[in-house]
Amino acid sequence: MTNAISEIGETGCVFVIGSHTAAAHPIIGRQINRAVRNGAKLIVADPREIALCRMADIWLRHRSGTDVALLNAMARVIIEEKHLNTSFMKERCEGFEAFEVAVMASDLSLAEKVTGVPAEKIAEAARMYASVSSATILYAMGITQHSHGTDNVKAVANLALLTGHIGNPSTGVNPLRGQNNVQGACDMGALPDVLPGYQKVQDPEIRKQFEKAWGCRLNRSPGLTLTEIFEAAHSGKVKALYIMGENPAVTEADTSFIEEAISHLELLVVQDIFLTETAQLADVVLPAASFAEKDGTFTNTERRVQRVRKAIEPVGNSRPDWMIICDIAQNMGAKGFDFDSPEQIMEEIRTLTPIYGGITYERIDKVGLQWPCPDTEHPGTPYLYPERFTTPSGRGQFSPISYTPPAEMTSHEYPLILTTRRSMFHYHSTLSRKVAELNDLRGEEQVEINPVDAAALEIEDGETVKVISRRGAVQAKAKISRITPPGVVSMTFHYPETRTNVLTHAALDPIAKIPEFKVCAVKIEREIEYGAEYLGWGTGKD
Amino acid sequence: MTNHVSLTINGVNVKAPEGATILEAAQSAGIYIPTLCYCPGLTSEGTCRICLVKVENKKKLHPACRTPVKEGMKVITDDAEIEQVRRVTLELILSDHDFNCLLCPKSGTCRLQALVNRIGFDEQRLNRLNRVAKDLPIDTSNPFFDFNPNKCIQCGICIRTCREIVGVHAIDMAYRGYDLKVSTFGDKPFKESVCVSCGECVERCPVAALIPRKIEYPTREVKTTCAYCGVGCGLYLGVRGNTIVKVRGDSENPVNRGELCIRGRFGYKFVHSPDRLSSPLVRAYDPLERVAHGIDETVKPGKALTAPLVKREGKFVEVNWEQAIKYVASTLVHYKGDHFAAISSAKCTNEENYLFQKFVRAVMETNNIDHCARL
C-alpha cells in the first residue's frame, strides 16, 4: 500500500476494484464505511454484488477479466474531458504521449461492449474519481489473479498518475495484501529474484555484500517462481522440495497437476502446524509452532512492522520455525545460523536490508513502524512517493496497454465463467477450518449461481451439483443468489474436501507468474440419483 | 485550530472545543457524569436519560451526551433534583430487566449494576413498578455469542456499532412500546441474518444481553499481532495456564484501534486444535524403496533413519527431533544447487522468512525460493 490504513477514512473518494474488502479485509472494509460516513464518494467495480455495493455511489458491474478495458475507458474520459492533473504529469510523470495513443485507440462504445457497463456510467465514475482532491484506489486479487494481472495493475497506476492521486496522505494506490505476513515474506527476499529488501540477485555489488556477510558464494541466476517450481518438479528438474507453512495441494491452481508434480519428487519436506493435504504427501513432516508460541515480527499490508510475542509454550513437541531452520543448517555444517532469539536475527536483517535499517525490537515495542525506515532516528514512512517514484528516472511511468481477453473463454461446452472468492468466515485452507464454531457458521462449499442460470439448468437452491472444467470436476451445494451475475458462478477454496482449484486454470501472467484464478470456463451438471421410478420404466415390480 | 469556549460545570471553569458536548467537556475536566447508552466512538442518541444535567436558564434537564457546549454556559451535573430524576429513570430501566445478578455472567463488569450501586433505587417504588419479567426466548444460534433480550436495556449501542463501525446493519429496533426489542431483519435467529459475527456489539454491550458463549478470565495478557490477514490488527491474547482463552483488540494500535473481525476475535482456537502436529514424522519406506527414492545413506552415515524406520509401507512413523533434523540435513546435502527448491510462508515471521531464504541461498546454493504471494 502506498498509504496507511488509517488514512482511508479521511479520503474524498474510494475506488475499490477487484476486492471483496468486507470479507477479505474486514477492518479495511470498516475504514471504507468510515470514509463514506465522512462524506467520501465510493466507486465499486466488481462483477459480483459484494457488500460494499450497497453503500457505493457507483457500482460498475464489468465482466470478469475486462478490467483493462474498463480502466482504459475511464482514462480516456479523464483525458477527453480535461480532468487531468497537468502540473503533476509535467513535473513527475513521463511516457504520456504513447499512453494517450493507446487509450485513444478504442472508444467508449467498444468498452461498453467489452465490459458490459454502460458508457455513461464509466464516464460518471471517471469524473467522480478525477474531480475530488484526494482519492484512493484499493485493489486485491480481483486485479492481480489474471493472466494479464500485471497489465491490470499498470492500468490502475495510469489512472492515479493522470489525476495526480498519489504521493499525498489518503491519496494513492493501495493493493491489499492477503496473508498476515505476505508483505514481510517479500521484504525478506523469499522471492526467486531478490535478496532481502528487494535487492536484485543479479547485481554483483549486492551479491558481494551478502556473500561477505554470510560467508558464502551466492548463485547468480534468479530462481524459479512457485508455479515454475512445480513445473520443474513435474519434469524432474527439481528433485527435492522443502515447504514451510504452505498448502499448495489446495491453494495452487490446477491442483491435480500439483499432486502429480509432487509424486515425481525424490524428497518432500513439509514444515507446518497441521498435517495439511500437502504434508500428507511428504516424506518428512516437521511440526512447527504457531504465531502464539514464538517471538518475531509481521509486516502488514501498509508496510508496518509489528511485534509478535510468545504467549504460550509450543503445543506438543512442536518447535518455532526459526529454530528448526537453524538446527538443520547447523547440522549441515553451515555457519551463521547460531541465533538464540528472533531479536538477534532482526539485528542481522537490519544491517543487510536498507528499508528495515531503523527497525529494532525496542522501537516497535508499542506501535509498529512503517518501512522505508533507513535508520534508528527515522520515524517511518506512512505514505510513499511524496517527491519521487522509485523508477530509475524518479518519474512516474505511464504504461500504454491494451485489453487482452482472459486466457480461457467460455465455449459451447463450458458456458459459464468460474471466479474464485473468499468467505467472511474462513481463511485460505487450513487455520479457520480447525475452529469448530467457524465451521458451524459456514461448513461447506457453496457454488453461487444466478437465478437465471439456475432456472435454465433446473437447479434448486441447496442441491448438490457437479462443477466441471477442462481440468477436473468437484461437487458442491448450489446457492442461488443474485450476487453473481448471469453467466458467472463463484466458489471459495477454503474446503479441502471440495478442491475448487482442481477446476482453476494455471494460465500465468507472463511477468508476475500469477495464475488466473478469477476466470475459467466451467459447466454445471445436476447431481441427482435418478431412481428408476423417476425415469418411467419402473423398477421391475408393478 | 478550533475555537474554544469556556463554561462552568459545577462552578468549575472549563474550556472545551466548539462543538463538543457537555459530557465531553466534563470528562476532559475530570468531572463524572453517569452514562449508560453513551459509547465513545459512536454517535450519541441520548436514549437512556441517565446523563441528564441542569443548564442555567433552561427549563428542562438536558442530556449531557447530546447537548453542545456554549460560551458562558453554566452546568450543574449533580444535585438533589437531578439525583431524583436519575433514580427514577434507573428504576424504570430496572423494572423490566431480568436482574438476577448472582447468576449473571456480566456481574462485576455490568454497567447497569455499577450505576445501581452509584445512584441507588427505592425498593418499594421498584416493586410497584416491577412488571412481570420478560420471558423471551434466548437466541443461541450463533456459535460465538448468545442474545438474551430479557437482559437488554435497549440502549442501542449494538445497533449503532453495527451501523457506524462495522457497516453491516444486521440489527435494529423492532416492534413498539413494551414489545420493543433489538432484532435482526425479520426477527430471524442471528445465524440466519446478515450478521458477520465480528463480536463488536458483544464487546460493547453494557449488560449481559449480548454475551460471549464461553467466558473465561485470563490470568495474563500478551500483546501481539493477528495471524490471519494482511491488515495486521493489534491484539491481546488472554492466557490462562498454557491456553489462550480470550482475545481482545489493542486500542493503541493505529490499524484497528481496538476493533477486530470474526477471524481475529474468535479464530484463535486453531492454536489448540487436537489436529496440531506434535511430533516430527518420517515416512517409512522399506530399504529398497529408499534406494528408489535416491536416499543413499552410505554417503553420509548419519544413521538417523535406522532406528525409527520400521518397514511399514508408506506410513508415517514418529521420530524424535534429533533424528528428524539429522535425516533432513543428511539428505538435503545431496540436493544442493538447482535440484532443490523451497517454498517459504507468508504465515511465518520476518525473521523466519529471512532465515529460510538465507538457508536456501547460502547453504543450498540456489535461488529457487518463492512463497504464496501469487495465490
Tell me whether residue A385 is in a domain: no
Chain A residues in contact with B258 by the CB 8 A cut-off are none
Same domain for B41 and B131?
Answer: no
What pLDDT does B302 receive? 31
Q: Which of B54, B78, B102 marks a domain boundary?
A: B78
Same domain for A150 and A26?
Answer: yes
Chain B residues in contact with A324 by the CB 8 A cut-off are 325
Which site among B192, B253, B312, B368 would you substitute to test the A interface, given the most A Cβ atoms closer than 10 Å to its Cβ?
B368
Tell me whether residue A525 is in a domain: yes
Tell me whether residue A230 is in a domain: no
Tell me whether residue B86 is in a domain: no
Cβ A448 vs Cβ A490: under 8 Å: yes
Same domain for B113 and B207?
Answer: yes
CATH number, position B117: 3.30.70.20
Same domain for A361 and A433?
Answer: no
Q: Would you say the ipTM is above 0.95?
A: no
Same domain for A132 and A196?
Answer: no
Same domain for B169 and B109?
Answer: yes
What pLDDT does B7 receive? 93
Tell me whether residue A277 is in a domain: no
Tell me whether residue A267 is in a domain: no
Q: B219 to chain A: nearest residue by CA?
A: A311
Q: What is the pLDDT along chain A (542 residues), one digit of tens a residue?
A: 899 999 999 999 999 999 999 999 999 999 999 999 999 999 999 999 999 999 999 999 999 999 999 999 999 999 999 999 999 999 999 999 999 999 998 889 999 999 999 999 999 999 999 999 999 999 999 999 999 999 999 999 999 999 999 999 999 999 998 889 999 999 999 999 999 999 999 999 999 999 999 999 999 999 999 989 999 999 999 999 999 998 888 888 788 899 999 999 989 999 999 888 888 888 899 999 999 999 999 999 999 999 999 999 999 889 999 999 999 999 999 989 999 999 999 999 999 999 999 999 999 999 999 999 999 999 999 999 988 888 889 999 999 999 999 988 889 999 999 999 888 888 877 788 888 888 888 888 999 999 999 999 999 999 999 999 999 999 999 999 999 999 999 999 888 888 888 898 888 888 888 888 899 999 999 876 655 555 555 555 44
B260, B328, B353 ranked by CB distance to A328: nearest: B328
Same domain for A11 and A39?
Answer: yes
User: How many degrees, rounded to 5, is the angle at CA A322 between CA A317 and CA A324?
Assistant: 50
Tell me whether residue B85 is in a domain: no
Tell me whether residue A409 is in a domain: no
- What range defines the domain where residue B309 resides? 281-374
Same domain for A437 and A455?
Answer: yes
The total number of structural domains in chain A stands at 3
What pLDDT does A198 receive? 93
Same domain for A353 and A497?
Answer: no
What pLDDT does A535 receive? 55
Interatomic CA distance for residues B119 and B116, integer angstroms: 5
Chain A residues in contact with B263 by the CB 8 A cut-off are 26, 425, 427, 432, 438
Same domain for A73 and A190?
Answer: no
Which residues of chain B register pLDDT less than 50?
Answer: 286-312
Chain B residues in contact with A308 by the CB 8 A cut-off are 224-225, 227, 349
CATH number, position A522: 2.40.40.20
Cβ A50 vs Cβ A483: under 8 Å: yes
For A202-236, b where at least 16 C-beta lie within 10 A, e where not — what string? eeeebbeebeeebebebbeeebbbbbbbbbbbbee
Same domain for A70 and A204?
Answer: no
How far are the Cα atoms of A135, A252, A428, A466, A500 from residue A495, in angstroms, in the given order? 37, 13, 9, 15, 8
Interatomic CA distance for residues A238 and B238, integer angstroms: 44
Q: Is residue A496 classed as helix, strand or coil in its secondary structure?
A: coil
CATH number, position A15: 3.40.228.10
What pLDDT does B318 receive? 84
Same domain for B267 and B285?
Answer: no
Same domain for B104 and B170?
Answer: yes
What pLDDT does B285 receive? 62
Same domain for A34 and A93?
Answer: yes
Q: Is residue B336 less than 8 Å (CB to CB) from chain A?
A: no
Tell me whether residue A273 is in a domain: no
Residues 176-205 of chain B with CB under 8 A from chain A are 191, 196-198
Q: Is residue A409 less than 8 Å (CB to CB) from chain B?
A: no
Same domain for B130 and B167?
Answer: yes
What pLDDT does B296 receive? 42
Residues 226-255 of chain B with CB under 8 A from chain A are 226-234, 237, 239, 242-244, 252-255
What pLDDT does B299 receive? 34
The total number of structural domains in chain B stands at 4
B239, A316: Cβ pair inside 8 Å? no
Same domain for A210 and A93?
Answer: no
What pLDDT does B309 receive? 31
- What range defines the domain where residue A123 resides? 5-176
Same domain for B57 and B112?
Answer: no
Q: Can the peptide bond before residue A372 be classed as cis, meaning omega within 30 degrees of 0?
A: yes
Tell me whether residue A190 is in a domain: yes
Same domain for B265 and B285?
Answer: no
Residues 74-133 of chain A with CB under 8 A from chain B are none
Same domain for B163 and B187?
Answer: yes
Which of A125, A141, A8 lies closest to A60, judged by CA? Answer: A125
Q: Is residue A489 less than 8 Å (CB to CB) from chain B?
A: no
Beta pairing partners, B15: B6
Q: Which of A313, A347, A370 marks a domain boundary?
A: A370
Q: A335 to chain B: nearest residue by CA?
A: B363
